[in-house]
Structure 1
Amino acid sequence: MADNLMWNGPGSTPAGAPAAHQPPPMPEGPPAEPVVGRRTIAEITALLDNIRYAVETKGHRLEEFHEGVRAAYTWAVGQGPSPITDRAAGIPDARQLRAEDDAADEALRSSSRRRYANGVQHAVMWVRGATDAQPWLRWQ
């Protein structure tokens, strides 16, 4: 059975994503808001709040993919350790984001938690700006 969440397997690229997973160039001048990668901390925090709302208020049970997404966003805003490499909590820089992306990619090939690793990688790629496809569907 095909794993429809595994869009980034070897040799595949999602529609519209850069083939080499390279983020676009940084904008000139200082950011108007604090950022992690290419996303504002406010953007990521709003997504985390929405995930909490879905779980705590609506009783939504996160699938393994979305557990990885939540763990990556939690790490990105400095509220937990990195989800794959288990580095200490703190706002990650570009090098750390890339290292976590690479570790998640490796975990896709060698881990029993492939869906979790795929969620982490997709979320980190979104934070880095390597894709505009944000992996959490917001609850209203």
Structure 2
Amino acid sequence: MEKNKKILLVALLIISLALFLYNIYVGLMALILFAALIMSIKIAETSSEHPDIEARLSDDAKGIELRNRGNAPAFNIHVAVVPINIEFDIPSLKEEEEYLYSFEAMIEEAKVVVTFENERGLRDSESFIVSALARDEDDFLKPVFPMFGWKKKK
């Protein structure tokens, strides 16, 4: 945490403890606000470190489109298209950057397994089922920006 944030949090904690002397309920409300502020700062710090790679089939079904929807670059990306036995590597994808890998022929359905690293070297893997005939499977409950390793599969 930055020095300014620490000073602000310590000052807020001292104020909330001083409010206990005035009224216990006002002091508890101040402590709740203090806890909410700490949680929001922690969420803001952790949400800026996650790449989120998405794989889709191109409109003509002759390629795989990869896009980094996260807010951090992804490195050492390895992509495997399962039934077609195609594997390829991408050195890196920056935020909102796209990459297209073209096939020689159209494919109807495939499973794409994407493995990548973040800036700190932590590996992550996601799998997508892409289909030329099916609708997109966007999860409407997924946060706009990736945080807390949204629905990690172990």
- Is the shorter-chain TM-score for this pair beyond 0.5, marking a shared fold? no
Give the alignment's TM-score, normalised by structure 2.
0.22
Higher alpha-carbon Rg: 2
Higher relative contact order (CA 8 A, sep 6+): 1
Q: Quick check: which one's strand share is greater?
A: 2
Q: Quick check: which one's helix share is greater?
A: 1
